[in-house]
Chains A and B, each alone.
Chain A
């Protein structure tokens, strides 16, 4: 009996020590949003977050993960909202009741990156599916995200549109984020599919170049989903709604459409105000 009591005391001491060591000054208006790596890597967040803070007083903390994990965090109630890009997975998320509604905010597009000399000759392809067929036919190295992210899901849908089940030594799923996939492709001089924003911001291009873009199939819609407060009473639904209002408003439109990297605009604002 005595021993269990002292154990309890030791545990209480441990907890209070952790709490004392980690006590941070309390901030009132903080919300967490899970976003995809491609959004974070684009650099747009660095423009939007200070403006959001200025206009609404909300400090948005970004948890940067793949779309699959972002939706998992939302379903568990660990974040207050998600900003992702995988239509089918978002619909499933809503159908399961994890989110209140889905609001389209903006889009950009996916591009096919590859070695500058383009051994598979995809630069002149008619469509994205045709370009992938040429890569498969040439057995040229192709790096796939392989991480159940929005980009990965898009890539798989394009392969199935091309009627190809990608497999073999030339197809390399690496199970990592966009940046890691680009780094790997850069090191292997391989083909890879990326969102345009991550590619333009990527600092380690070496011999890679943008070879194919423009097919409507490569359209990439970002949507905002607040986490359902009925399932998770602790989520800051009030802040999530205020953030949504800001994201579909005039200031967001101006900043998103005006965001450029190397003179190229990355995102197109397409939220519809209610």
Chain B
């Protein structure tokens, strides 16, 4: 119990003293995870909508695979991306290993299935409701997808935030492809793993509290900007 209280104290101290190393790590965490969410949403949201409005032969299988991929073990993704980006791998010439780009690529692979699955689920329900209307208006496939994405935006926001949650708390993949290099690719989760391995458990817990606070702050900001959870806009 003492250690936990000390951890909370450490977190508070770190934040109010504006420790520059901490802010550098926070900035890197945000940069990697938000970029990954942006890219994964750009792929996952239209993919989810497309799966909802189209009927094709392997649709069930595709959806089942997508759902299964939500449980991808990050370490395996990390290993896979490492082998691709390693100098001895097919994309080695790009020199992306141990850079923030490598971390973003790994996180995109981890969270795209999550965002696509959740948005598919939401859009499918909406599609059932809109089906007759959109068909009778003779809307093209692209128009249908755009209309569904826009009207389902609140549910899609949840999908995006779920993706962000998985990205910001992820450690296995970015440890392998990012290397947790100080002042370069170290993020909050890999810093926590490092401090734990040094036996600085209170400090590690303090960083954990900072991580949770950061996730809450990002979620509240996004909800605030998008105006959800307010009385007129249930």
Contact = CB atoms under 8 A, between A and B. Distances in A.
B182 A41 contact: no
Interface in B98-153: 98-101, 104-105, 108
15 contacts: A17-B38, A18-B104, A21-B31, A32-B181, A61-B182, A63-B179, A63-B180, A76-B86, A76-B87, A76-B88, A78-B98, A178-B197, A183-B199, A203-B201, A234-B95
A134 to B, nearest CB: 26
Nearest to A34: B179
A232 B87 contact: yes
Given A21-B104, A63-B181, A77 B197 contact: no
Contact of A14 (B39, B87, B88, B182): B39
A144 interface: no
A96 interface: no
B43 A14 contact: yes
A37 B181 contact: no
Q: Which of B35, B184, B198 has the most CB of A within 10 A?
A: B198
Contacts of B87: 76-78, 232, 234
B196 interface: yes
A18 B39 contact: yes
A202 interface: yes
Nearest to A179: B197
B25 interface: no
A21 B41 CA distance: 14
A42 to B, nearest CB: 10
5 closest Cβ pairs, A-B complex: A179-B197, A204-B199, A77-B87, A203-B199, A21-B35
Interface string A176-196: 011110110010000000000
Contacts of B71: none
A24 interface: yes
A5 to B, nearest CB: 16
Contacts of A232: 87
Given A18-B108, A203-B198, 5 more contacts: A14-B39, A32-B98, A61-B98, A63-B179, A183-B199
A63 B95 CA distance: 15
A81 to B, nearest CB: 14
Contacts of A17: 38-39, 42
A64 interface: yes
A21 B38 contact: yes
B39 A202 contact: no
A14 B35 CA distance: 11
Nearest to B181: A61
Contacts of A177: 197
A64 B101 contact: no
Interface string B80-101: 0000001111001001011111
B86 A179 contact: no
A19 B94 CA distance: 11
Nearest to A72: B86
Nearest to B83: A76
A19 B35 CA distance: 10
Given A17-B39, A76-B88, A234-B95, A22 B100 contact: yes
A204 B201 contact: yes
Nearest to A204: B199
B197 A180 contact: yes
Contacts of A205: 199
A56 interface: no
A24 B198 contact: no
Nearest to B35: A21
B221 interface: no
B184 A61 contact: yes
Interface string B18-50: 000000000000010001001100110000000
B228 interface: no
A251 B195 CA distance: 29
A18 B198 contact: no
Interface in B60-93: 86-89, 92
Given A76-B88, A205-B199, A22 B180 contact: no
